[in-house]
Amino acid sequence: MFLALVNDAAHDIEHHWKYVDDLSLLEIRTTSAPPKLQDHLDELENWSKDNDMKFNTTKSNAMSVNFTKRTINTPCLRLNDEPLKTTESQKILGVHLQSNLKWDKQVGDMVSRAGKRVFMISRLRKASIPSCDLVNIYSSYIRPILEYSSPLWSPSITANQYNDIEKIQKRVCRIIMKDQYVSYDHALEHLSICRMSERHEQLLDSFARTAASGMILKRTTEEKGDVVAPVNELFSNGR
């Protein structure tokens, strides 16, 4: 019912993204162009009044990304007659986006949360849990934290940030292998685990293939009407 009620919110705004009760608006403009984002917020406010709803301004923030070398004064945005807080970073669907388009907060948050769970592997190792089970636990409860939305950020993080991520897995390998630990590469081979950098490349490749197949299916549907050709047929035909 809630999804049906909010389905038409920001419907006429070109750059908007909705996920359940999360709504993000985007404005792209040159420094000389007048801002229009406040107009969009006014439209949202009118929509909320028409639908007997009210936006939570305490959970609403504004963030500006500036690609110029000079400082740009960000206009003060208001919603429900209250000014929106301007922030340098914003967490959207679990991903930290920064106004400088760097990934310090995202990587730091992932490494911190994953590091706290490594203790679980240490305790289970002392309980003589088999190595294969420890690897499965790591792959199910710790590694997903280091992989979350990686196709978005993995191509643009620094070498030091990759090292911080890799150190988490290295710690896990040391704990599991214990006295048998010789080197990181030896542990990866013995435990049948790949480096995090390789894992991120695999996920990026999988994401790209999925996105490409989706576009192919969409184009084929438009060309053939309602008939959607199987993915293997599309690729075998070189489309």
How much is the average pLDDT of 42-54? 85
Structure confidence at residue 71 (pLDDT) = 77
Last residue of a domain, one of 31, 53, 87: 87
Q: Quick check: is 227 in a domain?
A: no
Q: Quick check: is 158 in a domain?
A: yes
Phi, psi dihedral angles at 171 (to 5 degrees): -60, -45
Residues 18 and 58 both lie in one domain: yes
Burial class (CB in 10 A: 0-12, 13-18, 19+), 60: middle
Contact 27, 15 (CB under 8 A): yes
What's the domain range around 55? 2-87
Give me the residue label for tokens 């999925």: 210
Residue 221 has pLDDT above 90, yes or no: no
Residues 194 and 132 both lie in one domain: yes
Q: Quick check: is 149 in a domain?
A: yes
Write out the two tokens for 40: 């969009």
Residues 73 and 126 both lie in one domain: no
- For residue 32, name the pLDDT band (cuts at 50, 70, 90): confident
Residues 46 and 123 both lie in one domain: no
Residues 43 and 112 both lie in one domain: no
Q: How many domains does the chain have?
A: 2
Contact 131, 137 (CB under 8 A): no
Residues 58 and 123 both lie in one domain: no
Q: Quick one: residue 178, left, alpha or beta (phi over 0 = left, psi -120 to 50 = alpha)?
A: left
b/e map 183-201, b = 16+ CB within 10 Å? ebeebbebbebebbeebbb
Residue 58 has pLDDT above 50, yes or no: yes
- For residue 34, name the pLDDT band (cuts at 50, 70, 90): confident
Residues 55 and 112 both lie in one domain: no
Residues 119 and 195 both lie in one domain: yes
pLDDT above 70 coverage of the chain, percent: 86
How much is the average pLDDT of 87-105? 93
Q: pLDDT by residue (tens digit) across 140-197? A: 999 999 999 999 999 999 999 999 999 999 999 999 999 999 999 999 999 999 999 9
Residue ranges of E strands in 3-138 = 16-19, 22-25, 61-62, 78-79, 82-83, 85-86, 89-92, 95-98
Q: pLDDT by residue (tens digit) across 111-151? A: 999 999 999 999 999 999 999 999 999 999 999 999 999 99
